[in-house]
Structure 1
Amino acid sequence: MSNSFRHPEILEIARREGKVTVDDLAERFGVTLQTIRRDLTDLAENGRLQRVHGGAVLPSGTTNIGYEDRRALNTDAKGRIARTCAARIPGNASVFLNIGTSTEAVARELLHHQDLMVVTNNMNVANILVANRDCEIVVTGGHLRRSDGGLVGNLAAETIRQFKFDFAVIGCSALDEDGDLLDFDIQEVGVSQTILRQSRTTFLVADHSKFGRKAPARIASLASLDVFFTDAPLSNDLTDACAEWGTEIVVADTQDS
């Protein structure tokens, strides 16, 4: 198969899985590692992918990829992460869920929890949880971001300051190699920072496609979080750093169903 035929398929795999690896692509296409490295280099030079150690990811920039595209990425992993996270949230608790497809997956896993109060700046989360009659839902208000149903800005932050949550579940657009959580929208970052300040226990849900991505705005460090739920091990350096910070890393079991 020539590279002109491989390139579209490589891009489709990257969009579906969030990341491609040299070893996996060489096996899929029955070509050498060197051939795949050339393919990835060509795609990176054309701005279609961003090279990372051992493979490539979707390119980073100052804007995020489309919401529906994000929703389709790594759905199985997000489901496993969500189930693992939701298992740590008891009934009779107050919970904040912020913007993102991973937090929406958590909302679906809370449909059978009892006596919850969920506050959210995510219209999609509110619509999901309507089906749980034992869940009180509070929507923050704020500037509606039509692209993903998120509510951002000062009004959202002011509403959040009226609460002290038992648990906060947040997502991020990227996780830098030094453990910083990153995002693309500065207004959303301000809201996320307020959420963390107003919560007793803080959870991050993010799949492996966020590792090594870049985004321009910093939310916080993993050092400020209690638990990070993900689907793949972190680098040794970041794992050691989390141990020093007291941040628990929970890798969702691939056999979870």
Structure 2
Amino acid sequence: MSRQKSGARREQIVRMAASDGLANVEDLSARLGVTPSTIRRDLALLTAQGKLARTYGGALSLEPHPEASLRQRLGEAYDAKRAIAAWAARQIVPGENVLLDGGSTTTALAQELTSFTNLSVTTTALTALDVLAEAENIEVIVLGGRLRIISQSFVGPLTEASLERMSFDRAFMGADGVRVDRGINEKDLEQTRLKELMMGRADHVYVLAHGAKLGQGPFHAWAVMPPRWTLVTDDSAPPAEVRRFEDKGIEVVLVPAIQASAD
């Protein structure tokens, strides 16, 4: 198991413990597709790092999962996000109208788009706007509204109203977590409502989420998914979680994160 995959797995264990309150060795083993002994070693390390407290048969979250700022998330799973963004960019055809959600992976996608020509990009994200502001051959449209500082993106009724007169060839969505039974997880209800509206305006919907986010729901706001959509993740994704999505007929794309370091 590579160091990168081990790190992503441990990040997911912390998220699971925060979401469920208590992380059980056997349950973690089944959900993450590794042996119980591997999970026990992970829990021992996370406990030593002060991220969890050991209990009989598992570990306990020390505090509810906080919402990380976008600035904090930009450095997480960097290679995986770059690889996912590179794959997503290859799906876009010149002349299309593309919608970018807020988030660190969609920001990485915006960076991939700077060399495009004959493209229209609409976004709710300040970070994507900053990246694309000097891309002379891209039309950039911003869905304004109330700025949510922690996520550096716009939400609210003004943002939603902007969508009513628009449609898109492709929408690329971010997520704090994504579950096959509930959809996209976010901290804020306005965010999840906006995501549903955005996905409803696009012909093709892609959720860009690195492996540690699969099966996670650290918060209590959910965006219901459209009938057809594609989950794009990296090869650190737990096989058991990937199977859950595939068993429901959801297309899953596994991108080798290691490729990003060689780009």
TM bucket normalised to smaller: 0.7 to 0.9
Q: Which residue identity does 2:166 align to in structure 1?
A: F
Which residue, 225, 230, 241 being the options, matches 1:227? 230
Give the match's secondary structure for 2:135. coil
Counting matched residue pairs gives: 229
Q: TM-score, normalised by structure 2?
A: 0.74
The residue aligned with 1:141 is: 144
The residue aligned with 1:152 is: 155
The residue aligned with 1:170 is: 173
In 2, Cα distance between equivalents of 1:96 and 1:34: 39
The answer to whether the 8 Å contact 1:50/1:60 transfers is no
How has the CA–CA distance of structure 1 residues 63 and 236 changed in structure 2, closer, same or farther, with 3 Å as cutoff? closer
Give the match's secondary structure for 1:224. coil
The answer to whether the 8 Å contact 1:20/1:56 transfers is no
Q: TM-score, normalised by structure 1?
A: 0.76
How has the CA–CA distance of structure 1 residues 186 and 251 changed in structure 2, closer, same or farther, with 3 Å as cutoff? same
The residue aligned with 1:18 is: 11
Matched, 1:79 2:82: yes
How has the CA–CA distance of structure 1 residues 250 and 185 changed in structure 2, closer, same or farther, with 3 Å as cutoff? same
1:185-234 deviations in Å (ceiling 9; x for gaps): 1111111110011111111100012123222111124x634221110345
Report % sequence identity.
Answer: 22
In 2, Cα distance between equivalents of 1:166 and 1:38: 44
Deviation at 1:63, TM superposition (A): 4.3
The residue aligned with 1:217 is: 221
The residue aligned with 1:89 is: 92
**Runs of 5+ consecutive residues of structure 1 not aligned to the other structure:** 1-12, 23-31
The residue aligned with 1:64 is: 67
Name whichever of 208-217 and 90-99 sits farther off: 208-217
The answer to whether the 8 Å contact 2:94/2:119 transfers is yes
The answer to whether the 8 Å contact 1:40/1:49 transfers is no
In 2, Cα distance between equivalents of 1:224 and 1:56: 37
Give the match's secondary structure for 2:74. helix
In 1, Cα distance between equivalents of 2:67 and 2:79: 21
The answer to whether the 8 Å contact 2:80/2:256 transfers is no
How has the CA–CA distance of structure 1 residues 195 and 14 changed in structure 2, closer, same or farther, with 3 Å as cutoff? same
Question: Which of structures 1 and 2 has the larger relative contact order (alpha carbons within 8 angstroms, sep 6+)?
Answer: 2
**Runs of 5+ consecutive residues of structure 2 not aligned to the other structure:** 1-5, 15-24, 26-36
How has the CA–CA distance of structure 1 residues 67 and 16 changed in structure 2, closer, same or farther, with 3 Å as cutoff? farther
Q: Once superposed, what is the RMSD of the aligned Cα atoms?
A: 3.4
